[in-house]
Structure 1
Amino acid sequence: MFKIIKENERVISNWSGGVTKQLYIYPENSEYSKRNFKFRISIATTEIEKSTFTKLENVNRVISILDGKMELEHIGHYNKTLNKYEIDRFHGEWDTHSQGKVTDFNLMIKNGNGDFFFKEINKDEVITLCDKDAFGFIFCIDGSLCIDENPVKKGEFFITDNKKAVIKNRGKIFYGYIEK
C-alpha cells in the first residue's frame, strides 16, 4: 500500500493562532476534532508571537520547524529552541507554550510510538523507514523526488506500509514511521 497526498488534497482548518493543513490522518475516516485518530501528520502556521499548545492526553508528539524559529516551554520539564529542521519530542498532556511565528511539521500518535527525522538527499539511496510493523512516510520539503518509482514533488506527502523506500533525485525530506 502507498499513497501520495498532493498539496491541493490537504484538509485545512483554522486554530486560534493560525492555520493547520492536515497531510494525513489514520484511520482515514477519523477526525482530529473528535480525537478519534491513531495518528495525524500536519503542517501548522503560528501567526501570533505567543501561543499555547492544545493538551492531548495519551498522545506522543514530534515537531520540527519548516520556517522560522520557535522557543518551546514544556512547563515542569524543559525548554528548547527549535531552528529550521530541528526536532522536539514530547508528551501531548504537558503544558506547552511557544514563542515565535513559524511554520511547523507535526506528528501526533495516540497510544502508540513513532518518530521522524530530517535528511538531505544528494544521491539515489535506499532509506529504511521502519524495522517493525509500521507505516512509513516521507514529506518532500524541497526538490523533486522519485520514491519507489513514483514522482513526489515539493510539498507532497508519501505514506506506505513498506519498510524501505528507494529515493532517486535530490531534495530535503522528513521521513519516519508510526507503529501499527
Structure 2
Amino acid sequence: MAEIVLITKEQQQTSTWTGGTTTQISIYPPKSNFLDRDFMWRLSTAYVEVEESNFTKLAGFDRHLMVLEGRLELVHKGQHSVVLQQYEQDSFKGGWETVSFGMARDFNLMLKEGIKGKLEHYKAASGVQFKVELQADGQRDSFFACYCHRGQICLYANNQNVTVGEGDLLLINYNDYLTITLENKYIEECNLIAVFIEIY
C-alpha cells in the first residue's frame, strides 16, 4: 500500500530566518510545528543571503544538507568542516554549533534522532528512464520524496502517473515493496533530489 501526494511549489510556506529565507516543503506529522520541535522529519529549502551565518541549533535532531546553488562552507565547531559545491552534501547533529560561509541555496532534511534518512541527487537527460526500488517490512512508516530542482519529470508508481514540475515535491508513504519509474519526457535535463526516510 502506498499513499502518493504532490506538493506544488505554490503550496509551500516561505518565512525568514537570521541568514535569509527558508521554504518548508513538507513536515511530518502534518500538523506538527517547526518552532515547537514536535516533528519527526522536515524537508525545506533555504537561501543563505549573508556571507557568514550561524545556524539555528536543533538539539535532538540530525541534519542532512545539500547545496542546490552556489558554494557553502560549513564549520561545525569542535567537530569538522566541509566545503560544499552544487549537489554535494553534509550530515551533522542539529545541536552542534554550526557557522556557514558563502551565499547559496540549499536543501535540508531534518530528522528526529533515531529516524534514518538520506539524500541522493539524480540527473536525467532528455529521454532517460530509470527505476527506484523501495522495500519496507510493514512494521514502520517509510517515505520516499522526489524534489525537482531543475526541469520536470514523470513518475509512475502504484498505478498512478504524476508529473513533478520544477520546485514541486512528490511524497510517497509506503509500507511494502514498491517500484517507482521516473522518466524525463522533456527537452531540458532534469535534476532531482531523492529523499529516503524510515521511522523505527
TM-score interval, smaller chain: over 0.9
Within the candidate set 127, 143, 155, 2:167 is matched to 155
Shift of 1:17: 1.2
- Matched residues, percent identical? 31
Aligned-residue offset at 1:131? 3.3
Structure of greater Rg: 2
Q: Quick one: which of 118, 123, 126 aligns to 2:121?
A: 118
For 1:114-139, what per-residue CA distance to the aligned partner results, in whole angstroms no more than 9, with x for missing partners?
A: 011111123111113x4334101110
Does the alignment pair 1:127 with 2:146?
no
Give the letter aligned to residue 172 of structure 1: N
Matches within 5 A, 1:30-45: 30-45=32-47
Tell me how far apart the structure 2 counterparts of residues 66 and 96 of structure 1 sit (CA, whole Å).
19
> Which residue identity is paired with 1:125?
F
Give runs of aligned pairs for residues 28-177 of structure 1, distance below 5 A.
28-111=30-113, 112-122=115-125, 123-128=128-133, 130-132=134-136, 133=140, 134-148=142-156, 149-162=161-174, 163-169=178-184, 171-177=190-196
Task: Tell me by how many angstroms 1:16 deviates.
Answer: 1.2
Amino acid at match of 2:135: D
Give TM-score scaled by structure 1 length. 0.95
Match of 1:86, as an amino acid? E
Letter in 2 for 1:2: I
Unaligned regions of 5+ residues in structure 1, if any?
none
Q: Does 1:178 align with 2:197?
A: yes
Unaligned runs of at least 5 residues, structure 2:
none
What TM-score do the two structures reach when normalised by structure 2?
0.86
1:16 is matched with 18
> Could you say what the CA RMSD is over the residues aligned between the two structures, in angstroms?
1.2
